[in-house]
Amino acid sequence: MSDLKCDFCSAPHPSWRYPALTFVAYCAPDVAGESVGDWAACEICHTLIETNDHAGLAQRSLDELIVKYPEASQASRVLLESLSDLHQEFFVHRRGPAQPISVPA
């Protein structure tokens, strides 16, 4: 569990879990493939999800992606669309409310 990351922005130690059905997402290479089951979310992404700020969520994912892969900024517009599509699939496949992830003592 220690290497758990936010499925939206890859931040370490996400504090929320969203029950979701497994689905296959065809996205930009290396961004996403198959989404297996639940999604983890950090506090910030959780807030964006709960406030239905889909644009903010996609933008945050993109920003974090570019921090990790600076060359991705050249394709930022395409990536933003891909991330929006992926998140849209998440919103379709999510099941039930977010559950807090208990932090091991």
Residues contributing to the site for Zn ion (CB under 5 A): 6, 8-9, 11, 42, 45
Select 58 or 74, whichever has its Cβ closest to Zn ion: 58
Among the listed residues 97, 98, 95, 93, the one whose alpha carbon sits nearest the alpha carbon of residue 23:
93
Tokens of residue 97, six digits: 């409310």
Q: Name the minimum Å distance from CB 76 to Zn ion.
A: 18
- Strands lying side by side in the sheet with 16-18: 39-41, 16-18, 99-100
**Nearest-approach distance from CB 8 to Zn ion, in angstroms:** 4
Closer CB to Zn ion, 30 or 105, in the complex: 30
Give whichever of 42 and 62 is closer to Zn ion, judged by the CB atom.
42
How many C-beta atoms surround the C-beta of residue 95 within 10 A?
9
Question: What minimum distance in Å lies between the beta carbon of 14 and Zn ion?
Answer: 6
Q: Which two tokens stand for residue 6?
A: 């936010």
